Structure 1
Amino acid sequence: MERKGKILLTGASGFVGYHLIAAAVARGYEVYAAVRKSSQVDHLKEFPVQYVYPDFANAAALQQELQAQQYDYIIHAAAATRAPSQQAFNAANADITRNLATAILQSGIPLKKFVFVSSLAVLGPIPYDCSDPIAENNEPHPITGYGRSKLLAEQYLREFPTLPLVTLRPTVVYGPREKDLYVMFKTLARGMEPSIGRKNQLLSFVYVADLVDVILDALEKPTPPGLVCNISDGQVYNRNELALITKRILNKKTFRFTVPVGVVRMLASLMETLYARSKKSPLLYRERVGELTAPNWNCSIANAQQYLGYMPKYDLEKGVTESLKWYKEHNWL
């Protein structure tokens, strides 16, 4: 197979990183996986990747790494989705992004494309009855520290107008190996169906295979400077559809019950208190409750369709079917 070039992939050991490596190798790219020395990479051993250990906190060291390797493409998919403070979020998601962009330009390498995997959390949700979906040019109103840090990263990248940049903002990503929605799948498989509050919601999702395809397409297609694209499966779902689809596929009946939002917020506050002195962050925290109960995450994918030829292959039914099949085959369910 003809080699298409060298990719530096950050976040390589994570959920999306795994699928990016698989797809990039299949397309003929030479993949350099940026990981920490402490990262678990056993699940990547089937792939012919080379591991590198850049110091993303040090722009000068990054510059030397880039000059030594002469990468053709960079996909910056690394992100902290939980952190103990806004400062920690910014350090992990924004400062490192700026360091990487600085090193790219100072290194002088002839980079063909830099794809930044941002998040729909940058823009935040819209009202339930809003007639238009979330568009890329909406005024940002992030409601979490994660979203604010990703917005800051995007703002930093605008300081580098010569960077061959494409920014992608995926909504909730799911698929084999994902661990957050998996908690819900596992709960439903056990016959329990908790629901937070009673207000209507409109949700969006993207299956991981569609996301990695559009990321790699962004490397290969000519794009206008600074292109920004929201990424979902192009559909919008009510708050119950994910559970309904999951129960139908698993052939499960569940005990459904509603937990008041106030109770969940109290639990989130308690979790934050318990984790106050820990280096880890709780799965549930107050801002996360706001995100989970937000009224409308429906987003437009018109930019991705127009400029990247994006045509999602997986709606929620097909994607959940494939996910549950994988979880069962690998004894997660």
Structure 2
Amino acid sequence: MDKILITGGSGFIGSFIVEEALNRNMETWVAVRSSSSRKFLQDTRIRFIELDFSSEENLRKQLAGHKFDYVVHAAGVTKCLDKNDFFRMNTNGTANLVNVLSEPDWMPRRMVFLSSLSIFGAIREQQPYKDIEPTDQPKPNTAYGESKLKAERIVTESGIPSVILRPTGVYGPREKDYFLMAKSIKGHVDFAVGYKQQDITFVYVKDVVQAVFLALDRGKPGSAYFLTDGEVYQSATFSKLIHEALGRPWWIRITAPVWVLRVITFFGDAIAHITGKISALNNDKYHILKQRNWRCNIRPAINELGFAPEYNLKKGVRETIEWYKANGWL
């Protein structure tokens, strides 16, 4: 039985990776903190291990006696009150983990690192928009993207046989940020930002999981792959599909200029620092929503991994909304 370690297993994407590992009859270990929610980790076959990514010394003690065949590093943060926390957790935490795993006693057969399309920032923004290519120079325009880019380089240079995955916007059951859009539309209001054409890409969480295990099975060490569902959408498409899946309630669609978003996110950040509660509308989110081109080339993932997305946006949104309803979120 292959032994796998999944970090970030209590998170949105991580919890689905855990389920697939169990479906494959792998000895599944999930890295958690004492404060981690285990709401979606109820299967009795799961084995938990507490890991402190802030300390290489602690990781050595906690991983003593373990050797994993596979490691999926999905742990990280997407929103922080202090931008330095992105680097502390996403970059330094990754460095501490790979420094331990790169030693002979801990070296896995394969590691997959969950990164993000956000590492490239707003490039190829001139119309007509063209696909972002793996050979393009990353120019991250968010602290999150920069922290992930630095983590990618650490993983690549570690000597561990590793594959990097760069999904675009990931949605699906259990996801909380896109859920806010569904909640708003159910409340009869939808918001859009900017009047310039925006090409958006998405990938359903189960297709990300498919790519993770393809990468473990056949990914070429040192490679990095973009992940989308293979389609390109316009900015209003996601809202329209949510509206349809909700039964088409009456709604008001408000399109605001980008400068309005800048004001909203400025105050969102300010209020978050006062209350200590992270806002979904923050400085990083401003740059993400402002970006017009999210196209990227997934042909390498198709050709080299055998990646075959099973969910287009319509199918994925329908399944997601059904889950939100069934679980009392909507």
Please state which band the TM-score falls in when normalised by the shorter chain.
over 0.9
Query: C-alpha displacement at 1:293, in angstroms?
Result: 2.1
Query: C-alpha displacement at 1:66, in angstroms?
Result: 3.3
Is residue 2:233 matched to residue 1:258?
no
The counterpart of 1:212, out of the listed 209, 213, 216, is 209
Query: C-alpha displacement at 1:128, in angstroms?
Result: 4.9
| Matched residue SS, 2:273 | coil
| Matched residue SS, 1:276 | helix
Q: Any conservation in 2 of the 1:59–1:103 contact (CA below 8 Å)?
A: yes
Cα 1:287–1:40 change in 2 (3 A) is closer
Q: Which amino acid aligns with 2:29?
A: Y
Q: Equivalences for 1:107-146 in 2 at 5 Å?
A: 107-125=104-122, 126-146=124-144
| Matched residue SS, 1:282 | coil
Is residue 2:242 matched to residue 1:246?
yes
Please give the per-residue CA displacement for 1:144-196, whole angstroms capped at 9, x wherever unaligned.
11000001111222322x21110000110000000000100111122211222
What residue is the counterpart of 2:196 in the other structure?
Answer: 199
**CA distance in 2: counterparts of 1:243 and 1:97, whole angstroms:** 35
Q: Equivalences for 1:1-333 in 2 at 5 Å?
A: 3=1, 5-125=2-122, 126-160=124-158, 162-221=159-218, 223-252=219-248, 253-276=250-273, 279-333=276-330
**CA distance in 2: counterparts of 1:305 and 1:100, whole angstroms:** 29
**CA distance in 1: counterparts of 2:63 and 2:77, whole angstroms:** 23
Q: Any conservation in 2 of the 1:93–1:153 contact (CA below 8 Å)?
A: yes
| Matched residue SS, 1:275 | helix
**CA distance in 2: counterparts of 1:209 and 1:199, whole angstroms:** 31
**CA distance in 1: counterparts of 2:204 and 2:73, whole angstroms:** 19
| Matched residue SS, 2:65 | helix
Q: Which amino acid aligns with 2:245?
A: I
**CA distance in 2: counterparts of 1:187 and 1:103, whole angstroms:** 44
Query: C-alpha displacement at 1:322, in angstroms?
Result: 0.6
TM-score by length of 2: 0.95
| Matched residue SS, 1:68 | coil
Query: C-alpha displacement at 1:107, in angstroms?
Result: 5.0
**CA distance in 2: counterparts of 1:236 and 1:66, whole angstroms:** 42
Q: Any conservation in 2 of the 1:64–1:107 contact (CA below 8 Å)?
A: no
Please list every run of 5 or more consecutive structure 1 residues that lacks an aligned counterpart in the other structure. none
More moved, 245-254 vs 307-316: 245-254
**CA distance in 1: counterparts of 2:217 and 2:302, whole angstroms:** 15
Aligned alpha-carbon RMSD (Å): 1.6
More moved, 44-53 vs 87-96: 44-53
Q: Any conservation in 2 of the 1:36–1:53 contact (CA below 8 Å)?
A: yes
Query: C-alpha displacement at 1:130, in angstroms?
Result: 4.5
Q: Any conservation in 1 of the 2:192–2:235 contact (CA below 8 Å)?
A: no
**CA distance in 2: counterparts of 1:177 and 1:49, whole angstroms:** 19
Q: Which amino acid aligns with 2:234?
A: N
| Matched residue SS, 1:115 | strand
Please give the per-residue CA displacement for 1:79-129, whole angstroms capped at 9, x wherever unaligned.
110123332111110011111111012252341111000000011233152
Please give the per-residue CA displacement for 1:292-327, whole angstroms capped at 9, x wherever unaligned.
121110111112112110000000011001101111
Query: C-alpha displacement at 1:278, in angstroms?
Result: 5.3
Q: Any conservation in 2 of the 1:122–1:147 contact (CA below 8 Å)?
A: yes
TM-score by length of 1: 0.94
